[in-house]
Chains A and B, each alone.
Chain A
């Protein structure tokens, strides 16, 4: 199988990640629940992962790195824990349902929303942020990279606007964390939400949020923390304030191994390789008559090429690629309903090829040969 579904989850994971998870399952106690060696091993590893992530994203301190099961949980914590009835939020058409659905839920309790329109290439007009600004605007919530097109948003520019207008800036980095530079402080990011199993190369079931100093998020959950047992409510201090229940210590150990792996290779090198694979594939498919390719390839973008051929339903093309040629891609709707509407792909869906560090030039060449063969 040639795997081009890395935007859904990267696969295979580096060997060091799987080995570390297995080792942790055979040696970890429950972090923060005891002082015996096995529990402390888990606590030390989890803290080291917080430190690594804080350094990677220039988060002010390791304690401000909160672990969750995925970026959806992180985004729910941030969105539901920061917004109140009467607040106005600016977001974009590029967003995933992990942002849209919490916002739609909050609309019912009196939160106002505005979504900046995307054009046919999947780009927004940055001047729309100031056009949509209102007296009660509290936050900007946006993705760093679209999971459908791979288009990137300029976090530095949006962050400056947020800071100039006293707004919270919540970022969904699900498609970019670990590969594209993200600096919470220089980009004025209030909350950065990430998943561990995509570009960070870690296990599924890991993710989190990095919180800027002074940003107070109401907890989504409360429960066991291993500390302040006789307090009736969730403790005030991060990360415990937003972490109720046993953490995924085994997964976080794997995530730490993945972070070390990325550090060793250098995320610039990962980005360069993935971009080269994407570019070669793009240059090949765009020449196929009847092929429609979505997204803006004039600028740097996440390693995604999304396409449709003629009016063929995206699922049919993806099924043929998988069953007859062993090429794994994603088709249909990609949990980004507003962007599908903007791109005009609501009915047809779209076929997404997403590239990872483990992919090769030969695999790209094979996929191009197959598409040239069947798309005619």
Chain B
């Protein structure tokens, strides 16, 4: 299995919110990708957004400014 690294992970209630976040981050050139939501986060939606940990501020600010509803923001090893 791959080595784990610290990432900034956003979890959601629905798939639509995950898709909106990916589109937003692509538009704003924020590095990241959709991943299977880590089980440790008990996310409602099985898809989560993962960015390098150092981009946490940019991701959070962009998501909140866009009014995307999230379940939570996390710094986790994935």
A residues with a Cβ closer than 8 A to B are: 312-320, 324, 331-333, 347-349, 374-375
**Given known contacts A313-B40, A332-B37, A375-B1, what 8 new A-B pairs fall within 8 Å (CB)?**
A316-B78, A319-B35, A324-B2, A331-B36, A331-B46, A332-B36, A348-B39, A374-B1
Give complex CA distance A129, B13 in Å: 37
**Residue B52 is within 8 A (CB to CB) of chain A in the complex:** no
Are the C-beta atoms of A320 and B1 separated by less than 8 Å? Answer: yes
Chain A contacts for B35, CB-based, 8 A:
315, 319
CB distance from A24 to the nearest CB of B (A): 29
A-B contact pairs, 18 of them (CB 8 A): A313-B36, A314-B36, A315-B35, A315-B39, A316-B1, A316-B36, A316-B38, A316-B78, A317-B1, A319-B36, A320-B1, A320-B2, A324-B2, A331-B36, A332-B37, A332-B46, A347-B39, A374-B1
Kindly list chain A residues whose C-beta atoms are within 8 Å of the C-beta of B36: 313-316, 318-319, 331-332
Q: Which residues of B contact A314 (CB under 8 A)?
A: 36, 39
**How many residues of chain B get a CB closer than 8 Å to chain A's CBs?**
10
The residues of B that contact A313 with a CB separation of less than 8 Å are 36, 38-40
Shortest distance between the CB of A329 and any CB in chain B (Å): 11
A238 to B2, CA, bound (A): 56
**A-B CB contacts (within 8 Å), total count:** 36
Q: Which of chain B's residues have a CB closer than 8 A to the CB of A348?
A: 39
User: B residues within 8 A CB of A320?
Assistant: 1-2
Interface centre among B36, B39, B78 (most CB of A within 10 A): B36
Instruction: State the 10 A-B residue pairs at the shortest beta-carbon distance, nearest first.
Output: A315-B36, A332-B46, A313-B39, A319-B36, A319-B35, A331-B36, A320-B2, A374-B1, A318-B36, A347-B39
- Specify the chain B residue showing the minimal Cβ separation from A376: B1
B-chain residues with CB within 8 Å of residue A324 when the two chains form the complex:
2
User: Nearest B residue to A331 by beta-carbon distance?
Assistant: B36
**CA–CA, A318 and B39, complex, Å:** 13
Q: Are A312 and B1 in contact (CB under 8 A)?
A: yes
Residue-wise interface mask of B (28-71) relative to A, using a CB-CB cutoff of 8 A (1 in contact, 0 not) = 00000001111110000010000000000000000000000000
B36 to chain A, nearest CB (A): 3
